[in-house]
Amino acid sequence: MNEISIRVYYEDTDSGGVVYYANYLKFIERGRSEYLRDLGFEQDVLIAKYNTIFAVRRLNAQYHLPVKFNDLLTVQTLIKKVGRASLIFTQKIMHSGQNQVLFKAQVTVACLHADSFKPCGIPLMIKEKIDG
């Protein structure tokens, strides 16, 4: 599992000081990017060296409690399943230092050729790092 911290800025909120619903998706995107980075894979290098990108194919999100301006959050990211050409992530957002889930999502990402956007198998080196 990977965890990152995110501070909620004014720009993330609506006029009531509550995080705009679409911004939760930005927060979990950062979580998935950092997960790959922690495995040693920079997304720009995956494109340049391996012609590989990951694109969201499916998302199931549940909003439990509001997140507000200046909250410090923890985004937890875990790979639930590795397929031939896809990864399924489970992700949670919580207040830092607390165990109460504010938001959770299951995200399926497809592995694609960067130049054609056609599906391809996940490169072996990525699968090995995930499994290892």
Beta strands in the chain (DSSP E): 2-7, 52-63, 72-82, 86-95, 101-113
Q: Where are the domains of the chain?
A: 2-131
What is the pLDDT, as a whole number, of residue 51? 95
The helix/strand count (H/E) of the chain reads as: 3, 5
What is the pLDDT, as a whole number, of residue 114? 97
Is the pLDDT confidence value at 131 over 90? no
Is the pLDDT confidence value at 132 over 80? no
DSSP bridge partners of 113: 52
Q: What is the pLDDT of residues 59-88, one digit of tens each?
A: 999 999 999 999 999 999 999 999 999 999
Give φ, ψ of 119 to 5 degrees. -60, 145
Q: What is the pLDDT of residues 5-55, one digit of tens each?
A: 999 999 999 999 999 999 999 999 999 999 999 999 999 999 999 999 999
Active-site residue flag, 44? no
The one catalytic residue among 12, 14, 38, 71: 14
Homologous superfamily assigned to 2-131: Hotdog Thioesterase (3.10.129.10)
